[in-house]
Structure 1
Amino acid sequence: MSEARDTVGYSVDHGVVRIGIRNPPVNALVRDVRAALLAAFDRACSEESAVAILLSGEGPGFATGADLSESDGGADAPTMAALCARVEASPLPVVAALHGTVLGAGVELALAAHYRVADADTRIGFPEVRLGLMPSAGATQRLPRLVGAGAALDLMLSGRLFSMDAPPAEALADLVVAEDARAGAAQFVAALLEDGGAVRPTSGIRLGFADPKAYGHAVTQRREALAKAPELAPREIVAAVEAANLLPFEAGLAFEADAAQTCRVSAQSRALRAAFVAEHRARRLDLPADAPLPELTRIAVLGGGPLAVQLVFAALLCGLAVNWGTRDPAALREGVPRLRRLFDGFVRRGAMSEDDALDRLADLRIGDSAAMTGGVEVIVHAARGQGDVPAPDGIPRLSAVSGMVRQVGLRFAPPIHAARLIEVIVGPSASPEQIVAARALARALDKIPVRVHAPGETVAGRLMAACQRAADALVDLGQHPYDIDRALREWGWHRPPFLASDRRGLPDLAARPRAEGARNWCDVMVGHDRRGRAGGAGFYLWEGTPPVPSEDPGLTALLEAERPAARPLSPDQIRRLVFGAMANEGARMLASGMVLRPSDIDVVATLGLELPRWRGGPMHLVGVYGLLSVCRAMEGLDHPDKAFWTPQPVFGALIKNGRSFEAMNR
């Protein structure tokens, strides 16, 4: 007999109850699916003829986690923990057939089954830790019982995917088949029934506890490694895995539930979940959902110089073939050895093998610009003077060169091969095909694009300029640059304004205007022959090879000769003002249409300016501080740059309606 339900399939064949998860596209275990699975298990256990349960997922994978929105207010009943408890308590043996990508709650459901069969292509992972969360349906208690503390922590702390046919994940499977996990699971069930059909609750397994010394060592090792890390969730996962070996199973589940709740309501998790959603939203570049996205295999990079070298290197690393063309043969004669040195550095560090480096370099063609535009899907200009290079019709052209943008410009956060941000500058003459090409290139390079409407300026540039302008204002009012940088660095931002200015070079920033009565302190430093890192002294002293910064005792006297000192502001006051000023600049960008939503600004801040992702960008942060509190702090600042510190009208509108910038995201 058989019956089809909306989210769960149910059938009985010779006493084997087949329960199939049907929630495309990824079989997310949302509330309705959990309820349907619970009902299906209740029904199966009441079947007089039933002898076993085969649990599988229909479509491309077994199952994945629940809807992220459930993390905001807590999951509706039945919870994953309740579902997993019901599965494990089944009087009939439960065999889970795993295939595809199995994530989070999907892995927890599989762990609650009595046996697991997987095909060789199955990959599992616990991405929760990247969202400031931890497993909450028993994984921290069941997983160590199967594989021990070391392997369990490797699986749960990394957030990565692991193949079920290799350590550490292979220990979860009772059988790995070459293909077709459902067929393999059916054969496994038949063999199991022939052998008596015993249930085997994971909670009763002790294999992972067999070596208490190794178990304790693995816990201690991870705890020590995380001692100075700011993130909460990894530490809670370690504590829960330790508890698995110290507490009875039910007490361990209660420990896990309490720790998971602590993580869920934390500011860190709220920031990380907001960042995750913001990045996925930004990736669309506001193109129609059904816009076709081409798969790129070969691109052209036109132009020589450092930018071109970095672009070619990044593309080759990601598996793209590259045609590298210049009009100046000398640029290639200099650039190709530089490219090879970059690969050599990766090989020396063990980041890739010599054979891998040679394979990637084999995908590189070099020559004259005009000869390199054929057989590619996208052309990227990496130097000036390439715009008139002839190319086949229909090949989108994008420019990575700084300056005015008429069509579509790409602004990569440095270093290009490692940083994940591309600001896609959409100019007045941009075509839809170019924007689609920019999105396809971002996907091929594994980067997150943010759509920006501007003549050429970047969101990152404006945010950092606002940060430095705010920091200068605080120095005008008697604060010390080191106190300002320290307040931000100890909070978790390792690119605070004065340190960042020194690294860039103070002469580059000295010409930036300030309001009447305000000062540009980079200009003051340059006037005292302090030019930044390259000159050996700026706001900091720079000594050694490579030069490292240290605080200069003489800076205080220099400052006091230029302006009076004042009572120091608290670190929290400094942060509230600096991030308030950055959010105020973000509001200006929103008002002008330069960016479409506040979350795009936060993506740029975390990926481009390296604000801690677990803290969030400035638009998120002012919501954490409270918009009214931030407005009062800015309005109360007695500084001549009134226009800069006056909150933008959107602050008042949001405060009036009891909302934050999150409400403007769409």
Structure 2
Amino acid sequence: MDAGPEGADRVRYEARDGVAVLTVASPPVNALVQPVRAALLDAVTRAQDDPEAQAILIRADGRTFPTGADVREFSATFGAPTLADLCLHIEACPKPVIAAIHGAALGGGLELALACHYRLAHEDARLGFPEVTLGVVPNAGGTQRLPRLVGAKVALDMLTTGKPLDAERAHAAGLIDKVVERNLERAGFGTARNFGHDGTPPRPTRDVTRGTRDARGYLEVIAARRRHADKQGEAVPRLVDLVEAALLVPFETGLDMEHAAYEDLVNSDTSRGLRHAFLAERRAARVPALAGVDPLPVHAVGVIGAGPLARDVAMAALASGVPVTVALEDDPAISRVRTRIERSLGAAVEAGRLSGRARDTRLSRLKVSQDLRALGDADVIIDALPEDAVRKAHVLLQVGGIAKPGAVIASSTADCDLETLVQSAARRDRFAAMHFIAPADRNRLVEIAPVRGTAPAATATLIRLARAMGKMPIVAEPRAGLVFNRLVTAYYSAAALTLERGASPQAVDRAMRDLGMPLGPFEAQDVAGLDAVWGLRAEECPSAIPVRMLENAWYGRRSGQGFYVYEGEDRVATGEVSRELDQMLRGLRAEAGVSATGMKPEEIRKRCLLALANEGAKLVEAGVVARPSDVDVVMLQGLGFPRAAGGPMRLADREGPLAVRAALRAWAEENDFWTPAPLWDRLVSTGRRFEDMNLR
């Protein structure tokens, strides 16, 4: 029986043996949207008034306990009842309310559980507050109830990092009352029935003092966290204040403070950018053309290559839990692959990122061979050779005859001609590009580009494998450069043009680091190597700088000189530009008739960001990406673009298409590189923005 007309398929009500069982049934994740909140409130009220019910059990169908509100609701006015209202109603219930938690109780879902009087969790459950990753704080009492149970340290660890606790750690911290190994529903019902029969009273979390009993220690934790809070974003200092309030002010006052902090933060540009990034990544996971398509089973993975990329791809595949074979013929480097993987996994163990048992398990699944026939049992074979079309085609020709029927062959390439490669592999329906971005051990981005004739199941298989490897896959059309390389080329080209207009490499790098980039564009090129960055596309740059640097063998850190000078055997960065590079830049400026020296940081950032947005507009217009926000995901995951900014397409929306087009047109007088993509004209004429195109 349901909880009312609005909650007909949202919350089921069942009373038996003195227990009112309230089951949230709102797939896929039982999000606490307004209809669910209303139905749950009605169900709790009904149980409260039901003379046959002595206790209440709140549980959920499907894969998880209720999760928080939809992120898209954050900026809207929450419909009644709010989650805070629901939590207060549950906490005030005169009958004991037990939460049975499975899956993930995150954000609002954990706030719901905290409002219950007792909490049981399945051993596989995870509990956490990810709100800080969206630039906000909890808004239904989480910052006030959590510290009362677990104290300041655990509360701040959870709230300021967004990292969840597993059930065992949550139990040890006092967040839950019992860990259930098997049948959670049976354990939850039995607990509720016993509580009802025994007359166990409610235990409102607001009245618990276990976590605040040691006031001095509590305040010492607050003081220590406050010293570093301002460096961790806008939400963290507010969280420290709110956890302090849980000790010092009445519960209702703490709730008011929490709500005020939420309202301040949710309307900040930082939170809007973080929410855009979150939604963009979630949106990128949806590929309409693959709806209803089942991936093929993957029981073994093969990797072709012997260099750093092959090593990193192999380690990611091992982490996905399948046996991996790395093979390459006629290359002595293949004999060193196992040693390098062992060394990398050993370093992960020493750093505490991996257990010794996990390392040993992964190594037991690794095979390295100098015979390509060792790849014959693989369900997916990934070519991780360098970007050399002739060599790739030669090896894929051999692999195509070795691979078992139905195996998917993928090539990690963005620049080689895919038609040539697919003809070599000789299995069009089972071939696609799967471009890993270096350094692939740390970079999460993977571009997947099916060719004409690739079976949907093959594409779906590569997407699922990429996710199992801990990667963020983006599906793109098979065009030269795919998405990442084209964006990076535009970004580095814009940066080079700023040098020709009078900026220094130091000023450009500093301006982009101040935005939040991990490295400036010239620092990044020196680290990667200018031969690797520009070797295949230096002629595409509108500035002569890359060509001239390659001609002089100024490759970056590896050669001792790039945009900066590096000293000693360890190639220590000096942060100084060489006299030769300075003379070259002066000459280029003189040729262009530029006498200016210097450029304001705001101008540098604007040029670099609008170059990215303009290239993104071209990618959208050409159908290389499905939506503008995919461009943002590529920059976020591939180049470390600051999440708080959301991405270049979001920043262009904030600037406005009309203003962007005007700036590009003005700069196009200097260089045709800045010519606005035609999409800007359509956006201006229709009054639309990129965000409107993301909704399709």
555-564 or 652-661: which moved more? 555-564
Does structure 2 conserve the Cα–Cα contact (< 8 Å) formed by 1:223 and 1:238?
yes
Greater shift after overlay, 429-438 or 561-570? 561-570
Alignment of 1:389-408 (within 5 A): 389=399, 390-401=402-413, 403-406=416-419, 407-408=431-432
Relative to structure 1, is the Cα distance of residues 150 and 534 closer, same or farther in structure 2, using a 3 angstrom cutoff? same
CA displacement at 1:283 relative to structure 2: 2.7
Aligned CA distance change for structure 1 residues 183 and 130 (closer, same or farther; 3 Å): same
1:116 aligns with 2:125: no
Summarize the Cα distance change of 1:178–1:409 in structure 2 as closer, same or farther, 3 Å threshold: closer
Give the Cα separation in 1 of the matches to 2:81 and 2:2. Answer: 25
Matching residue within 640, 654, 663 for 1:633: 663
Shift of 1:639: 4.2
Conserved? CA contact 1:468–1:497, under 8 Å: yes
Change (3 A) 1:452 1:59: closer
**Amino acid across the alignment from 1:143:** L
Question: Matched residues in 1 for 2:181 and 2:409: separation?
Answer: 44
Change (3 A) 1:374 1:616: same
TM-score by length of 2: 0.89
Measure, in 2, the Cα distance between the counterparts of 1:175 and 1:341.
40
Offset of residue 559 of structure 1: 4.0
Quick check: 266-275 or 27-36, which moved more?
Answer: 266-275
Note closer, same or farther for the CA distance 1:417–1:497 as it changes in structure 2 (3 Å cut): closer
Distance 1:212 1:335, change over 3 A: same
Q: Quick one: which of 206, 212, 228 aligns to 2:215? A: 212
Correspondent of 1:60 among 60, 63, 74:
63
The answer for the alignment partner of 2:167 in structure 1 is: 164
Taking structure 1 as reference, are residues 355 and 328 closer, same or farther at Cα in structure 2, changes over 3 Å only? farther
Q: Is the 8 A contact 2:295 2:457 kept in 1?
A: no
Counterpart residue type for residue 201 of structure 1: P
Cα shift at 1:67: 1.7
Q: 2:243 aligns with which of 241, 246, 263?
A: 241
Whole-Å Cα distance in 2 between the matches of residues 169 and 78 of structure 1? 33
8 Å contact 1:54–1:186 — kept in the other structure? yes
Check 1:48–1:340 CA distance in 2 against 1; reply closer, same or farther (3 A cut).
closer
Q: Does 1:424 align with 2:419?
A: no
Aligned mates of 1:284, 1:84 — CA distance in 2: 33
Whether 1:105 aligns to 2:131 is no
Matched AA of 1:405: L
Secondary structure at the counterpart of residue 410 of structure 1: strand
Residues of 2 paired with 1:147 and 1:357: CA distance?
33
For 1:277 and 1:538, locate their aligned partners in 2 and report how far apart those are by CA, in whole Å.
Answer: 38
1:72 equivalent in structure 2 = 75
Report the number of matched residues: 662
1:538 to 550, 555, 562: 562
The unaligned stretches of length 5 or more in structure 1 are none
How far off its partner does 1:550 sit? 0.9
Aligned to 1:69, what secondary structure does the other structure show?
helix
Q: Does 1:183 align with 2:208?
A: no
Q: Give the Cα separation in 2 of the matches to 1:89 and 1:479.
A: 63
Tell whether 2:629 aligns with 1:599: yes
Map 1:435-446 to 2 at 5 A: 435-446=459-470
Instruction: Note closer, same or farther for the CA distance 1:43–1:293 as it changes in structure 2 (3 Å cut).
Output: same
1:51 maps to 2:54: yes
For the residue of structure 2 that corresponds to 1:479, the secondary structure is coil
Matched, 1:478 2:502: yes
Residues 452-475 of structure 1: CA deviation (Å, up to 9, x unaligned): 223442311111111122222222
What is the match of residue 653 of structure 2? 623
Query: Are the structure 2 counterparts of residues 51 and 218 from structure 1 closer, same or farther at C-alpha, using a change threshold of 3 Å?
Result: same
Q: Check 1:322–1:290 CA distance in 2 against 1; reply closer, same or farther (3 A cut).
A: same
Letter paired with 2:576: E
Q: Does 1:495 align with 2:497?
A: no
* Aligned with 2:92 (options 78, 89, 94): 89
CA distance in 2, matches of 1:307, 1:50: 62
Structure 2 portions without partners, runs of 5+: 386-391, 420-430
Change (3 A) 1:560 1:304: closer
Choose between structure 1 and 2: higher helix proportion: 2
Distance 1:248 1:71 in 2: 27
Q: Over residues 511-565 of structure 1, what are the superposed CA-to-partner deviations in whole Å (9 max), with x where a residue is unaligned?
A: 72378xx642234556777543223233222235252251348566764454244
Give distance in 2, aligned partners of 1:224 and 1:417. Answer: 33
Distance in 1 of aligned mates of 2:13 and 2:540 = 70
1: CA distance, partners of 2:18 / 2:357:
54
The aligned amino acid for 2:601 is: P
Indicate conservation of the 8 Å contact 1:577/1:630, yes or no. no
Amino acid at match of 1:615: A
Say whether residues 1:612 and 2:662 are aligned partners: no
Cα distance in 1, alignment partners of residues 527 and 304 from structure 2: 29
Q: Counterpart of 1:394 in 2: which secondary structure?
A: coil
For the residue of structure 1 that corresponds to 2:222, the secondary structure is: helix
- The CA deviation at 1:143 is 0.4
Aligned to 2:679: 650
Partner of 2:266: 264
Question: Once superposed, what is the RMSD of the aligned Cα atoms?
Answer: 2.6
